[in-house]
Amino acid sequence: MSELRAVEIRKPGEIAEAAAAQAVPFSIEAEQQLLGALLTNNEVYDHVSRIIQAGHFYDPVHRRIYEICAERIARNALASPVTIKAFMEHDAGLKELGGPAYLARLAGAAISSHAARDYAQMIREFALRRELIGLGQDIAARASTVTVSDSAEEQIKEAEQILYKLGEQGVAERGFQSFLAAVTGALNAANAAFSRGGGLSGISTGLVDLDGKMGGLNRSDLIILAGRPSMGKTSLATNIAFNVAKVHRLGEFPDGSHGTVAGGVVGFFSLEMSAEQLAARILSEAAEVPSEAIRRGDMTEDEFRRFVKAAHDLQNCPLYIDDTPALPINQLAARARKLKRTMGLDLLIVDYLQLLRAASAKDSRVNEVSEITQGLKAIAKELDIPVVALSQLSRQVEAREDKRPQLSDLRESGSIEQDADIVMFVFREEYYREREKPADHDLDKMANWQQIMESCHGKAEVIIGKQRHGPIGTVELSFEGRFTRFGNLEKHRSWDRPE
């Protein structure tokens, strides 16, 4: 063991203060070992820089040593006891510890650079715990002072934001991986698809033709679902969420590991509708009771029984709804991580993208949306799940004769289109045709209108405008407006494989 101890770096008069400070967690020995490893091998910095920052060090002298090392290494310059000495020659704290000789002792007492990452994790852990202790003390002090302008609800909200900000410091580091590891992952995905009969590589949406075009919802994909108001974006998203959650099943994989083998746990961020409204839509589909009848309470006895039964059957469905409005993207990420850690998470849906906020103020809306879409893609990769984000379209769709949307109709389309793996649009011709109804006395136009309405009644299109790993094209679905439900059209599917 190193001879350097925590007490040795302080003046005799500070020993009592150091003993009192033991109430907060820290490890001077871990800080000394990490700095010693860094001073003897600068490559250690590449392994620990994503884990800790200078502010995580408890001892202020150690903090300054790490800052100088980090700055020199970032410039491809050597950080050693000799080179660091020049920058700390007049540092009062270092003089109290013995001056430049202390830097040499740090380097000489370092045991192994291989343990540096573990020491960095420990230093960061203790730093977070100290921040939590400080936060708790601040909350207690502020709560004990009663003022008219500082309500308890406001204090809770601010404390929650600080806690989420603390949680943000734990972003996972991936780094480089060998091609063998990447090939193994691709092989496992292909094996999973093959074992399901060759149909899907991802989670089934419950919509057969859409699955056939996309291969299901695949891990780490950001999927943008866009459309004009009243096209059914939220309805399609809730349908997919319900279809995934209701068939969720845990089991064992061929390699012996356990996890989700069917369906999935779904997280739904509803920034526009309340959780109750969203639940009512899902129950409308499940119970086959018109959504407007549920809102008005105008249900027959049989409909009410079906509604209650559906609510009972679905009460344990792994679908979790967060209806907090105007969430910043970093808070959304923190909440998604927490859900994954506590309940599991296989699919995340955000309704809708334009109602999210950037983590900090931006000089333009385009930059703000760019941060949001990059954040959503980062969540998909970090949590290894598909993320479906709904998006509004610009009004220029309405000005065209053919109102089928295209990529250029996306608001702030540059960042959304660039970051997304899949962009798909919901389009219902019936919605527009209903508004073209001619006058009753114009019999020829009325007959033609009725014929057009009959051809598009109860149908919807999902137009895949971009797909990074597959074909683009159009998928036809059925749509029952009374139950806000999308479904499969009965027809021959060319992608079906023969028995």
Weakest-pLDDT range from 115-129, 276-290, 404-418: 404-418
Domain coordinates of the chain in residue numbers?
28-140, 200-427+458-488
Q: How far apart are CA 69 and CA 92, in angstroms?
A: 18
Mean pLDDT within 399-427: 82
Q: What is the mean pLDDT of residues 463-492?
A: 83
What DSSP line would sit under 155-208, residue for residue? HHHHHHHHHHHHHGGGPPP-----HHHHHHHHHHHHHHHHHTTSS-SSB--S-H
Query: By three-state DSSP, how is residue 426 classified?
Result: strand
As a residue count, the chain comes to 499
Mean pLDDT of 477-491: 80
Percentage with pLDDT > 70 across the chain: 84
How many C-beta atoms lie closer than 10 Å to residue 236's C-beta?
26
pLDDT confidence of residue 230: 81
Task: Please give the structure tokens belonging to residue 447.
Answer: 């007959």
Going by pLDDT thresholds of 50, 70 and 90, the confidence category of residue 376 is very high
Tens digits of per-residue pLDDT, 240-286? 998 999 888 888 766 666 777 788 999 999 988 888 888 888 888 88
Tokens of 34: 């990490």
Per-residue pLDDT reduced to its tens digit, 62-83? 999 999 998 888 888 888 888 9
CATH class of domain segment(s) 200-427+458-488? alpha beta
Contact (CB, 8 A) for 302 and 495: no
Highest mean pLDDT: which of 255-264, 306-315, 321-330, 380-389? 380-389
C-alpha 430, offset from chain centre:
35
CA contacts within 13 A on the Cβ side of 60: 7
For the cut 70, the answer to whether the pLDDT of residue 174 exceeds it is: no
Extract the tokens encoding 215. 């291969």
Q: What is the pTM of this model?
A: 0.65
Tell me the longest C-alpha to C-alpha distance in the chain: 103
Residue 494 binned pLDDT confidence (cut-offs 50, 70, 90):
very low
Task: Say whether pLDDT at 175 is over 90.
Answer: no
Q: Could you give the CA distance from residue 350 to residue 331 in angstroms, rounded to a whole number?
A: 13
What tokens were used for 340?
A: 């994954």
Domain 28-140: top CATH class: mainly alpha
